[in-house]
């Protein structure tokens, strides 16, 4: 993305890296390296459509990674159960899993 990156790109990048630290894989280090390389290779993008596409993919990746972030770890939008506005709209992240039911 261009020298004047669209608002929120650095914020998104940092949250992805923080969430990736919790990804349970032997290849976690190489995954983090690939994330960094991907952002670096796209830092000179100037086409607004391409930037928007890459941003959507990054936000989707963050959403996927947040499933592995422990509650209260503070590594992104889903860790505290709040939302972030990155594309001009709100992205709401909810955890899937067991629910509590009263019998």
Residue 72's pLDDT is what? 79
Is residue 101 one of the residues assigned to a domain?
no
Tokens of 71: 């509650």
Distance CA 58, CA 76 (A): 13
Residue 21's pLDDT is what? 94
Is residue 13 one of the residues assigned to a domain?
yes
Is residue 34 one of the residues assigned to a domain?
no
Is residue 84 one of the residues assigned to a domain?
no
Pairing of β 84-85 and β 90-91? antiparallel
Please state the φ and ψ torsions of residue 73, each to the nearest 5 degrees: -75, -20
Residues of the chain with pLDDT under 70: 1-6, 74-103
Is residue 95 one of the residues assigned to a domain?
no
Average pLDDT of the chain, as a whole number: 77
Residue 90's pLDDT is what? 47
- Write the pLDDT tens digit of every residue in 26-44: 999 999 999 999 999 999 9
Residue 41's pLDDT is what? 94
Question: How many independent structural domains does the chain possess?
Answer: 1
This prediction's pTM: 0.65
Give Cβ neighbours of residue 59 (< 8 Å, ≥ 6 apart): 12, 86, 87, 91
**Whether the Cβ atoms of residue 59 and residue 69 lie closer than 8 Å to each other:** no
User: Whose structure tokens read 């990054």?
Assistant: 58
């Amino acid at each position: 993305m261009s020298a004047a990156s669209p608002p929120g790109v650095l914020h998104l990048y940092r949250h992805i890296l923080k969430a990736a630290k919790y990804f349970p894989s032997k290849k976690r280090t190489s995954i983090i390296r690939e994330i960094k390389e991907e952002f670096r290779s796209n830092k000179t993008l100037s086409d607004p459509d391409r930037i928007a596409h890459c941003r959507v993919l990054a936000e989707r990746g963050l959403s996927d990674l947040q499933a592995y972030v422990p509650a209260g770890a503070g590594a992104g939008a889903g860790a505290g159960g709040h939302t972030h506005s990155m594309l001009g709209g709100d992205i709401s992240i909810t955890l899937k899993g067991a629910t509590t039911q009263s019998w």
